[in-house]
Structure 1
Amino acid sequence: MKPSSLNPFAIFAAAVTLMAISAPAMAQQTILVINEDQILRESAVGQHIATRLQAISTELDGELRALRTPIDEEAERLNAETAAITQEAIQQRPDLLQRIQTVSQQAQEFEARRQQYSNELVATERAAMRPVLEALQAVLQEVVEDRNADIVIDRGALVYAGQSVDASVDVIERLNARLPTVPVNRVRLPEGDAQQPQQ
């Protein structure tokens, strides 16, 4: 199970001033560019979260394998036992019918558990990112004030921007000083909860 491809900066981006302005007006503005992907990838807290999420994902995979193995083994035994007999003959075997029904139910329960674990990983990432988003907003405000910036734009929304207006490294350095790590603890959802975790 891989960590989700959730973009944790979606909320953060909403707090960043993104304005569509004309060329003459833009010439009078001080513009800064940040690279959200780079900030998460290279900051200490971003790397810490990624490492912990991978460890939790590996833990979940191990639990799922332990649940799936006996189901697969029983399914293989049933396939071997029923390969040489007709459907009509199977219908005359209450023991086989019960085992088939049990395996089918277990497989459905496994899929529900797998979805639950996937949602837990998403919820875990979101919980870990909340303090990061708060710290990023504070860091960005500092950078904006120090550089007298009027507009901040994500590099992903641009075709080109020179390095002189890119504040990503500055943001990373300040974020490292302010919040080098955060707790990343597995969020456990109620058993059988296959609903998508809330934003």
Structure 2
Amino acid sequence: MKLHAISIWAAAIVAATLAAVAPASAQTNVLVFNEARVLRDSAAGQVIATRLEAIQGEMDSELRAVAEPIQAEVERLNAETEPMTQEAIQQRPDLMQRIQAVQQQGQQVEVLRRRLSQELAATERQALRPVLELLPTILEEIVAERGAHIIVDRANLVYAAESVDISATVIERLNQRLPTVAVNRVRLPQGGEGQAQQ
């Protein structure tokens, strides 16, 4: 146990010594950028977020318009069948038909909810595409300008000095080249499964 601890300590000293005597040209220049911040704070990112919120509101309204009448029927059925036994309910074809209809409609609402969720995700992907296509070009430019070797996303770091964080520069250049983006709702086929219609 002690021997292992000493060997780790010795390895750390050797690594530190090698780093100290390595020539300056061998140092790795690392930059940091916060992709989440770029997508949140850039002009295009804010347009996307605002529009997605509006689209989600539209979708919520569509879902409510379908679900509320069904919920009202469920409440009516509950009130009518509360004093009845299961046997008595089953002897009433009219009630059984309504119960089955409500169950089917409930399944249809769940299918619609899943389709709308998929549409929102597809809409977001489509809206982000131009931003994500432009980002590598901007990052490559900054890498060349600063003579960097590596860019790391800040989300993967415990600490990075502000001097190596290029997020503000990325946002500034992204705003210059892509001040806005089109955010159009993607509609999936009625089945909900399948390719997004673009």
> Match of 1:186?
185
- Superposed CA offset, 1:85-108 (max 9, x none): 221111111111100000000001
> Match of 1:86?
85
Higher-Rg structure is 2
Cα drift, residue 163 of structure 1? 0.9
Contact 2:188-2:194 at 8 Å conserved across structures: no
> Match of 1:6?
none
> Match of 1:112?
111
What secondary structure sits across from 2:152 in the alignment? strand
Amino acid paired to 2:140? Q
Amino acid paired to 1:70? P
TM-score, normalised with respect to structure 2: 0.83
Unaligned runs of 5+ in 2: 1-14
Structure 1 residue runs of 4 or more that deviate by more than 3 Å after TM superposition = 22-27, 194-197
Distance of 1:86 and 1:72 partners within structure 2: 22
- Superposed CA offset, 1:38-81 (max 9, x none): 11111101111111110000000000000001100111111111
Cα drift, residue 192 of structure 1? 2.6
- Superposed CA offset, 1:140-171 (max 9, x none): 11111111211111111122111111111000
> Match of 2:75?
76
**Percent of aligned positions with the same letter in both sequences?**
61
Cα drift, residue 37 of structure 1? 1.4
Contact 1:119-1:196 at 8 Å conserved across structures: no
With over 3 angstroms needed to count, the CA separation of the structure-2 counterparts of 1:194 and 1:113, relative to structure 1, is farther
Contact 2:43-2:179 at 8 Å conserved across structures: yes
- Superposed CA offset, 1:118-147 (max 9, x none): 111111101111111011111111111111
What secondary structure sits across from 2:188 in the alignment? coil
Unaligned runs of 5+ in 1: 1-21
TM-score, normalised with respect to structure 1: 0.83
Distance of 2:133 and 2:104 partners within structure 1: 44
